[in-house]
Amino acid sequence: MPKPSSTSIASQDYLEQIFHLIALKGYARSVDIAANLGVSQASVSAMLKRLGADGLVVYEKYRGVILTPKGSDLAQHIIRRHEVLTRLLRHFGLDEETIYRDVEGMEHHISAQTLKAFTLLANELDQNPALCRTLKRKVRGK
Amino acid sequence: MPKPSSTSIASQDYLEQIFHLIALKGYARSVDIAANLGVSQASVSAMLKRLGADGLVVYEKYRGVILTPKGSDLAQHIIRRHEVLTRLLRHFGLDEETIYRDVEGMEHHISAQTLKAFTLLANELDQNPALCRTLKRKVRGK
DNA sequence: TTACAATCTTAGTCTTGTCTAAGTTTTTGG
DNA sequence: CCAAAAACTTAGACAAGACTAAGATTGTAA
Ligand SMILES: [Mn+2]
Ligand SMILES: [Mn+2]
Ligand SMILES: [Mn+2]
Ligand SMILES: [Mn+2]
């Protein structure tokens, strides 16, 4: 009876990309999902089947994929969380490559409480350029 | 020839606990590692074998486990990172339970750069109790 | 309309990490 | 000293998620 977790780390990453592609081009193709995530197309097929079984996408073989309302809500939540984290890390003057990799990993382990704290902190930093300058200076050189 | 990664997320969590137990009691027993990580003793046996193969512990059946210098260095790095993250999250007034869960997940996805930024930020917050008070107030209630 | 390219799926395999159940070894108390 | 308990390992299974190779479908351009 292992309840289908339905929101594994990998599932979240796929949902995120599917949502992005649909927003950007109107549809999400396997080939693009694969490229964006750096996995094989075969892996995408397998995951779409799983997401379909979990009721997060409607998937018809050879016919592409769309998000269910449930999948879409979840994707938007995932993306907002990703954006908050990115906004926070940008305050430290890290390079975008590093920010992306760290956010892509960290995002799956942030509770609602911590996300709220990070959101508020990012807001505070927005209003405190002096502190941001100090941090950026210390982060890069010694 | 897939080079042994040797530092998977799970490996890091096991190393962390082994180090802690040795620091605390002088030795690390499977039964305690299992309890601390919430896994079965069988899983611990399997992982100790892998850590041994990766040169991170010396493992003799029925005889306990010790860290190699390499394993010890790695464990200390992992623990320092865990502590920095914990120190940062404590500034927001989150409950310890939540902090522990989030840190336990996030810690494996923090680059050296981001870790440095978080360290500096924690330092700044230490010296800015006013900001911390504001954050704590906003994080809890509305 | 048809052949080719692009896209997609399936089949089969692998790795990591987990579990339970069963068997072994070590420790311990009487 | 030895039986029972505690600790530990092995065996066997499973799930997620990845890969490659091979085959199926779709789209397109001549
Ligand atoms: Mn991610
Ligand atoms: Mn993301
Ligand atoms: Mn951890
Ligand atoms: Mn940790």
> pLDDT of chain A along its 142 residues, tens only?
333 445 899 999 999 999 999 999 999 999 999 999 999 999 999 999 999 999 999 999 999 899 999 999 999 999 999 999 999 999 999 999 999 999 999 999 999 999 999 999 999 999 999 999 999 999 987 6
**A125 inside domain:** yes
State mean pLDDT over B32-58. 97
Decide: pTM greater than 0.85. yes
The reported pLDDT for the residue numbered B142 is 62
Same domain, A134 and A78: yes
Strand D closer than 7 A to residue A42 Cβ: yes
Question: Which residues does residue A58 pair with via DSSP β-bridges, in sequence order?
Answer: A66
Same domain, A63 and A78: no
The reported pLDDT for the residue numbered A101 is 97
Same domain, B63 and B79: no
Q: How far is the CA of A13 from the C1' of C5 (A)?
A: 29
Residues within 8 A of A (CB atoms), B 88-127 only = 89, 92, 94-95, 98-99, 101-102, 104-106, 108-111, 113-114, 116-117, 120-121, 124
State mean pLDDT over B45-73. 95
Q: Which of A67, A86, A105 is the last residue of a domain?
A: A67
**B1 inside domain:** no
Cα distances (Å, whole numbers) of residue A73 to A70, A98, A108, A113, B98: 5, 28, 16, 19, 24
Q: How far out from the chain centre does Cα A29 lie?
A: 18
**B84 inside domain:** yes
**A1 inside domain:** no
Neighbours of A70 (CB within 10 A): 13
Range of the domain at A15: 7-67
State how far the Cα of B69 lies from the Cα of B31, in Å rounded to an integer: 23
CA B76 / ligand 1 centre spacing (Å): 26
- pLDDT exceeds 50 at position B5: no
Question: Are the beta carbons of B18 and B67 closer than 8 angstroms?
Answer: yes
Mean pLDDT of chain B: 93
State how far the Cα of A107 lies from the Cα of B127, in Å rounded to an integer: 28
Same domain, A18 and A52: yes
Same domain, B78 and B123: yes
Query: Residue-wise over A30-52: b if at least 16 C-beta within 10 A, else e?
Result: bebbbebbebeeebbeebbebbb
Reference B65, options B52, B79, B54; nearest CA is: B52
**A29 inside domain:** yes
The reported pLDDT for the residue numbered B7 is 87
Provide residues 89-108 of B with CB closer than 7 Å to any strand C atom: none
State mean pLDDT over B128-141. 91
**A82 inside domain:** yes
Strand D closer than 7 A to residue A8 Cβ: yes
Which amino acid, residue B59?
Y
